[in-house]
Amino acid sequence: MTHITVTVDGITYTDHVEPRLLLVHYLRDVVGKTGTPIGCDTSNCGACTVLMDGVSVKSCSVLAVQADKSDITTIEGLANGELHPVQRAFHEEHALQCGYCTPGMIMAATDLLRDNPHPTDEEIREGLEGNLCRCTGYENIVRAVRRAAEAGVSL
Amino acid sequence: MTATVESSAELGRARLRKEDARLITGQTNWTDNITLPGMLYMAFLRSPFAHARIARVDVSGARSQPGVIAAFSGADFAGEQGSLPCAWPVTEDIVIPAHPPMAVDEVRYVGEAVAVVVARDRYAAADALASIDIDYEPLPPVLDIRTALDEGAPKVHEAGNKSYEWVFASGDVDAAFSDAPVVVERTYRQQRLIPCAMEPRAVVAQWIDDQVTLWSATQIPHVLRFALSAFFAIPEQNVRVIAPDVGGGFGSKLQVTAEEVLAVLVGRRVGKPVKWTESRSEGNMTVHHGRDQWQYIKIAADRDGRIRGLSVDLLADMGAYLMLVTPGVPLLGAFMYPAIYKMDAYSLKCTGIFTTKMPTDAYRGAGRPEATFAIERIMDELAAELGIEPMELRERNWIKHEEFPFTTIAGLTYDSGNYEAATAKAMELFGYDGLRREQQERNDRGDPVRLGIGISTFTEMCGLAPSRVLGSLSYGAGGWESASIRMLPTGKVEVVTGSSAHGQGHETAWSQIVADQLGVPFEDIRVLHGDTLVSPKGMDTYGSRSLAVGGMALVGACDKVVAKAKVIAAAMLEASPDDLEFSAGQFSVRGDPEASKTIQEVALATFAAHALPDGVEPSLDSDATYDPDNFSFPHGTHLCATEVDTETGFVKIRSYVAVDDVGVVVNPLIVEGQVHGGIAQGIAQALYEEGVYDDEGNLLTTTLADYLVPSASDLPSYVTSRNETQASNRLGVKGVGEAGTIASTPAVVNAIVDALRPLGINDITMPCTPERVWRAIQSANGSTTNTSAANTSGGAA
């Protein structure tokens, strides 16, 4: 077992974890951040995307021990009193149906807009290609990211 | 009808969804989020062989591993695990093999469960699987339905490889074909698909005394509760099934699964709550697959293009066992091959065949995408053969709008539609004539990137219901749907629906319907579903049935609430109920609009019950169950333009236009979203996805790296619009869940073939990967033979 200290959505946790424990299992099973779901086991789907020190990572392909001393933001910590502009845009553009991919998609879109505040539709599609959605056909996700960009997202 | 123009403020309004608040903030209650005190985790050991006899299983090694509480083989449950149910015995002599949730003597597909470990955490459970000893005696796999019925072929089951043969004929098919001036015959392959709902399956079972609660990522909590009682001897009153938030289904969670049954049985055995969550690779192997058919189709026509007859010989891969509706899926398509076209005769023969692969079952569209693909593809082939423009050929044969209601050669009565209007709108949005001109110019100048135009003028039968019709097709259940309205004392409303949503937006759309019917604010309504304790009656969500059936049940329940409230309002107003009218939530005395009571005032008065008329019960709450007398028939015209690079085989969708007629629209935002997602799933079949087994029956596409669910960068933007003809139910609604998926696959493949037809190509087998397109171009060499045979082998990935 290894000792780690991780800040998750503004609260600092210290835990003993198995070295093989995935960050996503740490978040879900140890910290209780079940807002971050798991959609695959090969890091293809992106459902488990969180921000690690401000940059999006697929938390299924990070070990909890690698997150030691880092600052994690999950979907549960994104809203700051009111909805984050990306969350609001997903709601307003009907960019989710079942909602399972949504936490990862929103976190990835947030990182995309940090990198590129004014992406073209093409750049949005390429920027989100690591996140799979089975419900929306992506049309409204692209619209939502565009809307959030127009609203001026800043982190 | 209680609704008036004034009170119809919600119908057709693009309400943002109530569901979203929890979904965009991570407060969602997925089954895998559930943790109970003392809960244990299950992990399954699965067969590595497609077909083998189980000579010996020894789970004792696993029992001594750290954290392990118990381990069981199939034999440990032989007395109680029974057989997973098949609810659709389509013929009297159908072969339905025993299907134990955990294999006992023999395994018949890779991934079939053979043992289970129960441990204190999921890692320990997974680790201990390696300590189970099993001796298998491999048997030959059966993988190709085209040869599975050959004499001497290895047998999947003792009774052989044929499950059933189902035939249908209408009109004189021999006469239609015998002296037909033109007959076109084709073979189409419906590849095996893996549904890939984003939420993997998960179950939690908890026993308290003799009562069990099963949480499951399922589309069908009600059917599952019934099945656990009817087939696994747990008294129905002791079973509660909860489908919490469910992350997509697409038919894949319309199932009674081995893991659900075993969670209940193992939980009872170990006396603790148990949980199982599949990994994606486990799910790709063991969530039922879709499609997997060979279609031999021929069409007879006159020289002017008039269709005389259609004949279909269908081979359908059942996989290793018949699951909940496995054998019925092709039959849902059997009535749809004639589609929107008039003809003199039609016949279909469907043979259900066993293989040593994961069973197939419902996947978005279930039978209808297959049928629509075949008819829309062969319409293009017939057009080419006759030298008639493909849209013109369709127009010459389709049912005219003034001919509705129209009974097709397959015996279905289409209640409404307007193919001319939807097509005209789609062609205009698409710029059809301009694209045809560009196509010609590019062909003329020998552009290596060819332009193709694909048409799909589809219809479907959905709103899966009429219990009598389902009964006549030997389906094991009815098709009604249930709703309850509870008027709370403060005037708020609880709506209970038996239609269990998993992404469709029922909480929003149902609120809109009830808001209109009762004249109460949208915000004052709460929709409850997905828990058999809260919503005890229902037939659940599949087959685009929720709105056309469940929505109508809501209307029926609202009618009863209004009727009860009217009697009480009349007493409050000292008027006769006959003199009251109800509009926008108000009962008012005809001719005296000042004398009125709101439905909320009536609700409070009913709760107090101080002054109710004699014999009137103090409740407005009402239940209704709705069973329609017909299916509904959404239709539409989808047009796809592809650019096909003849040097690389790469296909790019340049534009996609969909004009759908789904009847009256409750919420255009939700409808558009359903169309988008449906189109994407159909494009995925056309271009990307295939579940591939190797020659030994190993699934090669177990991950999302191998099974290519498309990403945003793989898909185009869609132009969607609607035409509206009203269905013959009071809401006028038809359903939209499957339309896009049914329509889009043939639109895309027709566009690819249209681009390449000048090169002598008349088919590309799906998925139309760059390699397959390129090989077809290489092997065509200007010949005009059926090119499908040249590109049917090889994997997808």
CATH number at residue B781: 3.30.365.10
Q: How many CB atoms lie within 10 A of CB B236?
A: 11
Q: Where are the beta strands (DSSP E) in B26-122?
A: 40-46, 52-58, 68-73, 106-107, 113-119
Q: Are strands B525-528 and B493-497 parallel, antiparallel or unpaired?
A: parallel
Q: Which domain holds residue B710?
A: 399-403+417-458+633-797
Q: Could you report the per-residue pLDDT of A54-85, keeping only the tens digit for each?
A: 999 999 999 999 999 999 999 999 998 999 99
Q: How far is CA B352 from CA B147, B186, B475, in A?
A: 13, 20, 16
On whether any CB of chain B is under 8 Å from the CB of A147, the answer is: no
Q: Could you report the per-residue pLDDT of B320-331, keeping only the tens digit for each?
A: 999 999 999 999
Q: Closest approach of chain B CAs to the CA of A97, in angstroms?
A: 5
Option in A96, A97, A138 nearest B712 (CB): A138
Do B579 and B669 belong to one domain? no
Supply the pLDDT for residue A154. Answer: 58
Contacts across the A-B interface (CB distance below 8 Å): 181
Do B589 and B668 belong to one domain? no
Mention the CATH class of domain A85-151.
Answer: mainly alpha
Domain C-terminal end among B626, B660, B676: B626
CB pair distance less than 8 Å for B713 and A125: yes
Whether the Cβ atoms of residue B728 and residue B629 lie closer than 8 Å to each other: no
In eight-state DSSP terms, residue B237 is G
Chain A residues near residue B676 by CB distance under 8 angstroms: 136-140
Q: What residues form DSSP beta bridges with B214?
A: B205, B241
Do B441 and B527 belong to one domain? no
On whether any CB of chain B is under 8 Å from the CB of A19, the answer is: no
Q: Closest approach of chain B CAs to the CA of A107, in angstroms?
A: 10
Tell whether B129 is covered by a domain: no
Q: Over range B70-98, report the average pLDDT.
A: 97
Least confident of A93-107, B5-19, B296-310, B576-590: B5-19
pLDDT tier for residue B332 given thresholds of 50, 70 and 90: very high
Q: Could you report the per-residue pLDDT of B34-79, keeping only the tens digit for each?
A: 999 999 999 999 999 999 999 999 999 999 999 999 999 999 999 9
Do B446 and B586 belong to one domain? no
Q: Over range B652-656, report the average pLDDT.
A: 98
Chain B residue whose CA is closest to A128: B712
pLDDT tier for residue B794 given thresholds of 50, 70 and 90: very low
Supply the pLDDT for residue B464. Answer: 86
Do B601 and B541 belong to one domain? yes
Supply the pLDDT for residue B529. Answer: 97
First to last CA, chain A: 35
Chain B residues near residue A47 by CB distance under 8 angstroms: 198
pTM > 0.90: yes
Do B437 and B512 belong to one domain? no
Q: How far is CA A12 from the centre of its chain?
A: 19
Q: Could you report the per-residue pLDDT of A111-151, keeping only the tens digit for each?
A: 999 999 999 999 999 999 999 999 999 999 999 999 999 98
Beta carbons within 8 Å of B136's beta carbon, 6+ residues apart = B47, B48, B49, B52, B53, B54, B55, B107
Alpha-carbon span B221 to B331, nearest angstrom: 24
Do B640 and B606 belong to one domain? no
Tell whether B568 is covered by a domain: yes
Alpha-carbon span B575 to B339, nearest angstrom: 54
B137 CB burial (10 A radius; 0-12, 13-18, 19+):
exposed
Q: Over range B269-275, report the average pLDDT.
A: 98
pLDDT at B797 over 60: no
Whether the Cβ atoms of residue B671 and residue B738 lie closer than 8 Å to each other: no
Q: Could you report the per-residue pLDDT of B561-579, keeping only the tens digit for each?
A: 999 999 999 999 999 999 9
Closest CA relative to residue B710, chosen from A106, A60, A45: A45
Least confident of A34-43, B169-178, B281-290, B587-596: B587-596
Q: Closest approach of chain A CAs to the CA of B741, in angstroms?
A: 11
Closest CA relative to residue A104, chosen from A155, A39, A21, A54: A39
Supply the pLDDT for residue B465. Answer: 84
Whether the Cβ atoms of residue B681 and residue A134 lie closer than 8 Å to each other: yes
Following CA atoms B47, B50, B53, B54 in sequence, which dihedral angle do they give, to the nearest 10 degrees?
Answer: 0
What token pair was written down for B796?
């997808």
Domain C-terminal end among B626, B661, B678: B626
Tell whether B471 is covered by a domain: no
Option in A21, A76, A141 nearest B712 (CB): A141
pLDDT tier for residue B488 given thresholds of 50, 70 and 90: very high
Do B422 and B534 belong to one domain? no
CB pair distance less than 8 Å for A102 and B24: yes
Q: Over range B758-782, report the average pLDDT.
A: 93
Closest CA relative to residue B62, chosen from B15, B11, B117, B14: B117
For an interface test with A, which of B20, B29, B218, B714 has the most A Cβ atoms less than 10 Å from its Cβ?
A: B20
Q: Over range B547-554, report the average pLDDT.
A: 97
Domain ranges of chain A: 2-77, 85-151
Alpha-carbon span B693 to B793, nearest angstrom: 12
Tell whether B333 is covered by a domain: no
Transcribe B516-573 into DSSP letters: HHHT--GGGEEEE-SBTTTS-----S-TT-IIIIIIHHHHHHHHHHHHHHHHHHHHHT
CB pair distance less than 8 Å for A129 and B713: yes
pLDDT at B146 over 80: yes
Q: Closest approach of chain A CAs to the CA of B698, in angstroms?
A: 19
Do B666 and B616 belong to one domain? no
Q: Over range B4-8, report the average pLDDT.
A: 46
> Within 13 A of B235's CA, how many CA atoms are on the CB side?
5
Q: Over range B162-178, report the average pLDDT.
A: 98
pLDDT at B789 over 50: no
Domain count within chain B:
2
Do B618 and B640 belong to one domain? no
CB pair distance less than 8 Å for A134 and B21: no
Do B498 and B584 belong to one domain? yes
Domain C-terminal end among B626, B659, B678: B626
Cβ within 8 Å of B, A 49-88: 74-76, 78-79, 83, 87
Supply the pLDDT for residue A152. Answer: 83
Tell whether B340 is covered by a domain: no
Supply the pLDDT for residue B668. Answer: 98
What token pair was written down for B222?
């009600």
pLDDT at B212 over 50: yes
Supply the pLDDT for residue B725. Answer: 97
Tell whether B756 is covered by a domain: yes
On whether any CB of chain B is under 8 Å from the CB of A91, the answer is: yes
Q: Over range B435-441, report the average pLDDT.
A: 98
Q: Closest approach of chain A CAs to the CA of B174, in angstroms?
A: 44
Q: What residues form DSSP beta bridges with A40?
A: none
Option in A35, A124, A142 nearest B27 (CB): A35
Supply the pLDDT for residue B593. Answer: 83
Mention the CATH class of domain A2-77.
Answer: alpha beta
Evaluate whether ipTM surpasses 0.85: yes
Option in A20, A40, A128 nearest B704 (CB): A40
Do B506 and B597 belong to one domain? yes
What token pair was written down for B354?
């066993």
Q: Over range B292-304, report the average pLDDT.
A: 98
